[in-house]
């Protein structure tokens, strides 16, 4: 059963069409990967679905049917109730999700109060549990800290944990691993895979990185200049040799991966020679 059905979504700004008749659907427990370079329309698509685009600057056509209701027809207050609790969005830069004037504990508790209505006496213990589930050490100390005192990776884990605590039907992850180092990226991807396998949540995972999409997506849309160039499972994506944009995207990624393997091999050979002497 479809939990989200996007039909002919188009976005305009300054009389220019920046997303063109995009359609896709999402089932419970399924992950849709949206792949494309910067400016391809990936993030705009999801912001439109979430009601995050300024209505004075952007015009949106089409439908985004969630539980038999069109999200694009809802007013700001209705969407504010849906965001977080029913559909959660995790952004590329977690620092933008937190208010620098308040500590992490206060912000988590306010979110729990707003969306779940948890009693004030147990909100702190609930916040501690969220951090523990994300394997964050010394959770009480972390709750007392301000966003600038924590790493991007830790803030991202907190965002993921807070999103899961709302028990959303859908999580939209907009380039969640781009602004963090490769080791933390690996850990964050483990968290998303765990979410997908254990929580039965529908995921939309946005990235320009084929390697990241390959780890988690069940099906993929490739976007270029606001258009859907290709859609389908990953096998069909890699076999589309005739589609020049997708082929170029794949070739670039494979060249980087092959060069990385070469460097690793050179390093191993040098280490072996050093041991001999």
pTM of the model: 0.80
Quick one: which of 110, 113, 184 has its CA closest to 143? 110
pLDDT of residue 212: 81
Comparing 14-18, 46-50, 80-84, which segment has the lowest mean pLDDT?
80-84
pLDDT digits (tens, 9 = 90+) for 63-85: 999 989 999 999 988 998 898 78
CA max distance for the chain: 72
Pairing of strands 69-70, 227-232: unpaired
Comparing 1-5, 56-60, 268-272, which segment has the lowest mean pLDDT?
268-272
Question: Distance (Å, rounded) from C-alpha 43 to C-alpha 47?
Answer: 6
pLDDT of residue 260: 46
pLDDT digits (tens, 9 = 90+) for 166-181: 888 999 998 887 666 6
Question: Distance (Å, rounded) from C-alpha 41 to C-alpha 77?
Answer: 25
Contacts 24+ apart (CB under 8 A), 14-22: 17/226, 18/44, 18/226, 19/44, 19/45, 19/48, 19/226, 20/226, 20/227, 21/62, 22/62, 22/221, 22/223, 22/226, 22/227, 22/228
Question: Distance (Å, rounded) from C-alpha 189 to C-alpha 33?
Answer: 13
Length, in residues, of the chain: 277
pLDDT digits (tens, 9 = 90+) for 192-243: 888 788 777 899 999 887 778 888 899 999 888 898 877 777 666 656 555 5
User: In the numeric block, which tokens belong to residue 77?
Assistant: 């207050």
Pairing of strands 219-224, 227-232: antiparallel
Question: Distance (Å, rounded) from C-alpha 67 to C-alpha 50?
Answer: 14
The overall average pLDDT reported for the chain is: 83
User: In the numeric block, which tokens belong to residue 28?
Assistant: 């419970």
pLDDT digits (tens, 9 = 90+) for 103-146: 999 999 988 888 777 777 788 899 999 898 888 889 999 999 99
Identify the H or E element spanning 24.
strand 16-27
pLDDT of residue 65: 96
């Amino acid at each position: 059963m479809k939990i989200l059905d996007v039909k002919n979504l188009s976005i305009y700004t300054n009389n220019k069409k920046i997303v063109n008749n995009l359609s896709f659907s999402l089932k419970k427990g399924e992950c849709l990967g949206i792949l494309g370079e910067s400016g391809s329309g990936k993030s705009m698509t999801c912001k439109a679905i979430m009601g995050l685009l300024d209505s004075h600057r952007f015009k949106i056509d089409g439908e985004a049917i969630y539980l038999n209701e069109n999200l694009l027809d809802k007013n700001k207050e209705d969407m504010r109730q849906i965001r977080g609790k029913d559909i959660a969005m995790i952004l590329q830069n977690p620092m933008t999700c937190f208010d620098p004037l308040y500590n992490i504990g206060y912000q988590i508790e306010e979110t729990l109060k707003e969306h779940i209505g948890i009693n004030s006496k147990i909100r702190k213990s609930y916040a501690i549990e969220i951090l523990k589930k994300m394997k964050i050490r010394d959770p009480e100390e972390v709750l007392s800290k301000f966003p600038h005192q924590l790493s991007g990776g830790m803030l991202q884990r907190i965002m993921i944990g807070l999103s899961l605590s709302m028990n959303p039907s859908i999580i939209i992850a907009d380039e969640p691993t781009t602004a963090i180092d490769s080791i933390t990226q690996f850990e964050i991807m483990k968290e998303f895979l765990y979410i997908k396998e254990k929580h039965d949540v529908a995921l939309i995972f946005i990235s320009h990185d084929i390697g990241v999409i390959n780890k988690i997506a069940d099906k993929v849309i490739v976007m270029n200049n606001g258009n859907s160039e290709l859609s389908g499972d990953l096998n069909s994506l890699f076999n589309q040799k005739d589609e020049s944009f997708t082929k170029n995207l794949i070739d670039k990624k494979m060249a980087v991966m092959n060069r990385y393997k070469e460097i690793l091999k050179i390093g191993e050979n040098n280490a072996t020679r050093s041991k001999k002497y």
